[in-house]
Amino acid sequence: MNLTQQQQDRLMAPVRTAVIAMQISELQEHQFYDLMGQLLIAKSIAQLVPWNRPYLDHINAALWSMQDKPDVDLIDSAMQIYEGMLKDTPVHIYQKALNKLKGKL
């Protein structure tokens, strides 16, 4: 069973807002952390799901970009990849990705 459309929308809404804020150079601190958190979840999913592994380099590049001078296009495309992942990632894998991250924090 995958995430419902409503669950996907709830996860992506703050990220979409943050990407738009980044595009107009108005990114606030909480939006930065929303983006970082979702990118870390995307990375964890890509590590766990074999068919998502090809996206790992792109997601890592977006994460590194966030450390220095954010590349808006790179981050936006990574978020689009993440959105696609959410559509075909089973809930138990998503939960496993979250638990993996919780262990590292």
Cα–Cα distance for residue pair 12/62, rounded to 1 Å: 16
Give pLDDT tens digits for 36-95. 999 999 999 999 999 999 999 999 999 999 988 889 999 999 999 999 999 999 999 999
Q: What is the pLDDT of residue 105?
A: 60
Structural domains in the chain (count) = 1
Rounded alpha-carbon distances, angstroms, from residue 65 to 47, 58, 73, 75: 19, 10, 10, 8
2, 88 contact by CB (below 8 A): yes
Q: Is the per-residue pLDDT at 101 higher than 90?
A: no
pLDDT of residue 78: 96
Helix axes 91-104, 29-48, angle to 10 degrees: 120
Range of the domain at 48: 5-104
Q: How far apart are CA 102 and CA 105, in angstroms?
A: 5
pLDDT for position 97: 92
Q: DSSP class of residue 3?
A: P
